[in-house]
């Protein structure tokens, strides 16, 4: 995983307020990567 992608992933993860949304985003990122 690229440093930029990992950094964006961390920012998105911390900016999430709903755990369900975070899970969907993380799964979506894994599928896209």
pLDDT tens column, 8-31: 877 777 766 667 777 888 888 888
pLDDT at 7: 85
- Rounded to whole angstroms, the Cα distance separating 22 from 12 reads 8
Residue 33 CB neighbours (<10 A): 9
- Rounded to whole angstroms, the Cα distance separating 17 from 4 reads 22
pTM summary value: 0.40
Instruction: Band the pLDDT of 33: cuts 50, 70, 90.
Output: low
- Rounded to whole angstroms, the Cα distance separating 16 from 2 reads 21
pLDDT at 16: 63
pLDDT at 24: 85
């Amino acid at each position: 995983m690229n440093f930029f992608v990992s950094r964006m992933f961390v920012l998105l993860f911390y900016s999430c307020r709903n755990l369900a949304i975070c899970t969907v985003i993380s799964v979506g990122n894994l599928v896209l990567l």
